[in-house]
Structure 1
Amino acid sequence: MLESLAHIATILGAVGLLLALLTWQGSRNSFHHAVITSCTTRFQKLSPKLGQLPLKTKTVQQYLELCNEELFYFESDFLPQPIIDEWLDGMLSFISLRRVSDESLFELPQAPPQLAPDLSPPLPAEQYLLLNNFPRLYYAFRLSPQAEKTILSVQRQHGPDAARAQMVLTVIDNLHYYKGQPFLKHLHRTRAEAW
């Protein structure tokens, strides 16, 4: 009898753990969906303002805040990779990569002239100063000489779409580098010690 009760208790414990895991996964998926929906809704509200030239500083500030938050979600593994790839590609339409050496803006060389000009140019140079308020964005959109050579090589070999994808990968690499910065590690360690 005791042996049967032990088996029943083991089975009930396993079922309880399975239910807890399923509930946790459901909550996690709901949270991820809420994050994606919130960010998408906020971008849709900002989108018409981002198309009005000249861009207002308040609009740029709101857009950078949204981008910074989205990058935080990516760093924290709240977003699936295809979503962040798409969002980073969109960000590159407004926030150009800046060379580490002289802070000049990088643009892909255009082989044939574009038929229709892009009416949503990158942020004006004076508004790039706002990036100083967002260290994560500042690091993410910097371009080392080696990364620039890689992007240009990819463009020569595979075309502008592949080069654009390489630019997204550059931003992702920069984010990983930023996440591993010593001051952030120290901050996390200090917090852990405080607990």
Structure 2
Amino acid sequence: MMNFGINNYKDLIEFISYIITSFSLIGIWITYAWSKKQIHFSTMSKCINDFREFLKCYGEADETLAFEYIDLVNEELFYLEKNYLPVDVAIEWIDGMIDWLPFYNANGDFIQSQNLSFLKNEQYVTIVLNGYPRILKVIQLNKTIDFEKVRLASLTLENRKLQFEERNKLIFEIISNLKLSFWRKRFITRKIASR
């Protein structure tokens, strides 16, 4: 028993308990990592299913759909704030929101929703979003974004590059408005060209 500094049975029991504790900590870490992935997966799955259901009804009762979409976006933004999503997924979801949400540019100009007609009227948007402070915070931009570039229709190679750069600025602005320093750091250091 002298080989590992074990002089008696008490030392042997302590040594065994250290080993068991070490394995327990490793097990706890593995369980935590697995449960975090499960949370990411279940969150993404729920929101994707909700969006698919929304798209099935798109074009019918637009006012009802606008409220459903606003609820969904509010939920997604909550998940972003709480870091329930991987960074790549969060950026993709924000990029998808750009075509559906209205915005207020830094100069105060109202930018209509591209896809929801009920979110094209500024007065209506003000009334609807009054109950959604998280979304209001996101759509009130501190920098001027060129929405003509963001929503370019003709995607030649040059236009695609212009659109990509302007959309990235808008995504970063949305992330900044959510005050997600973790996401900002990842967004800045990440090469978004893979989108």
TM-score normalised by structure 2 residue count = 0.72
- Counterpart of 1:95 in structure 2: which amino acid? L
Deviating more after overlay: 95-104 vs 77-86: 95-104
Shift of 1:59: 0.9
Q: Distance in 2 between matches of 1:96 and 1:159?
A: 20
Distance 1:132 1:89, change over 3 A: same
- Counterpart of 1:140 in structure 2: which amino acid? V
Q: Distance in 1 between matches of 2:97 and 2:64?
A: 17
C-alpha RMSD of the superposition: 2.9
Q: Distance in 2 between matches of 1:101 and 1:150?
A: 11
- Counterpart of 2:165 in structure 1: which amino acid? A
Aligned to 2:72: 66
Aligned to 1:84: 90
Of 131, 138, 141, the residue aligned with 1:140 is 138
> Does the Cα contact within 8 Å between 1:151 and 1:166 map onto a contact in 2?
no
Q: Distance in 2 between matches of 1:79 and 1:171?
A: 16
Instruction: For structure 1, list consecutive stretches of 5 or more residues without a partner in the other structure.
Output: 108-117, 178-195
Shift of 1:81: 1.1
Q: Distance in 1 between matches of 2:163 and 2:31?
A: 44
> Does the Cα contact within 8 Å between 2:107 and 2:144 map onto a contact in 1?
no
Instruction: For structure 2, list consecutive stretches of 5 or more residues without a partner in the other structure.
Output: 1-8, 153-157, 181-195
Aligned to 2:192: none
Are 1:176 and 2:174 counterparts? no
Distance 1:135 1:103, change over 3 A: farther
For 1:18-70, what per-residue CA distance to the aligned partner results, in whole angstroms no more than 9, with x for missing partners?
Answer: 112211221121111000000000000001333x16x5221111111110110
Number of residues paired by the alignment?
A: 162
TM-score normalised by structure 1 residue count = 0.72
Aligned to 1:44: 52
The structure having more radius of gyration, on CA atoms, is: 2
Are 1:31 and 2:39 counterparts? yes
Q: Distance in 2 between matches of 1:31 and 1:101?
A: 39
> Does the Cα contact within 8 Å between 1:60 and 1:127 map onto a contact in 2?
no
Q: Distance in 2 between matches of 1:30 and 1:98?
A: 36
Aligned to 1:131: 129
- Counterpart of 2:66 in structure 1: which amino acid? V
- Counterpart of 1:133 in structure 2: which amino acid? G
Distance 1:39 1:77, change over 3 A: same
Shift of 1:124: 2.2
